[in-house]
């Protein structure tokens, strides 16, 4: 079975500062990688995904992530955060059996 590790459970950051949310996964032959965002009292929404091709993936709301196969990582970044980015962020892996595995989440708090 796959496993997904989000190294930071909580990340506080000041408004307009850069942020990186870390995600590592257990290695496999082929995996597909996703980042989801969950705003308070809502379901999960897709931020971005890596299926193949360029290792730098751009998503919505100015977020991007880089797939690093040698380090089995898929870290999420944003160069300048806004108050509205305060939310829970989940990294997920989709294996070749079409089953998703989610990390435990990182709570991003943007401080004014």
Q: Which is nearer to another protein, 15 or 61 (CB)?
A: 61
49 binds another protein (CB under 8 A): yes
When asked if residue 99 is in the footprint of another protein (CB under 8 A), the reply is yes
5 binding another protein? (CB under 8 A): no
In order of 60, 73, 82, the CA distances from 13 in angstroms are 19, 22, 10
Report yes or no: 80 and 20 within 8 Å, Cβ to Cβ.
no
Asked whether 64 and 45 are in contact (CB, 8 A), the reply is no
Q: Which residues pair with 55 in a beta bridge?
A: none
Identify residues 63-82 at the interface with another protein (CB under 8 A). none
Binding residues for another protein, per CB under 8 A?
9, 32, 34, 36, 41-46, 49, 51, 90, 94, 98-100, 102-105
């Amino acid at each position: 079975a796959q496993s997904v590790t989000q190294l930071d459970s909580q990340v506080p950051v000041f408004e307009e500062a850069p942020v990186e949310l870390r995600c590592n996964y257990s290695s496999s032959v082929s995996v597909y990688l996703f980042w989801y965002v969950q705003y308070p009292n809502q379901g999960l929404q897709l931020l971005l995904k890596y299926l193949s091709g360029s290792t730098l993936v751009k998503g919505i709301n100015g977020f991007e992530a880089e797939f690093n196969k040698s380090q089995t990582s898929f870290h999420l970044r944003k160069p300048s955060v806004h108050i509205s980015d305060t939310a829970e962020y989940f990294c997920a892996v989709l294996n070749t059996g079409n089953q998703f595995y989610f990390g435990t989440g990182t709570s991003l708090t943007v401080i004014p």
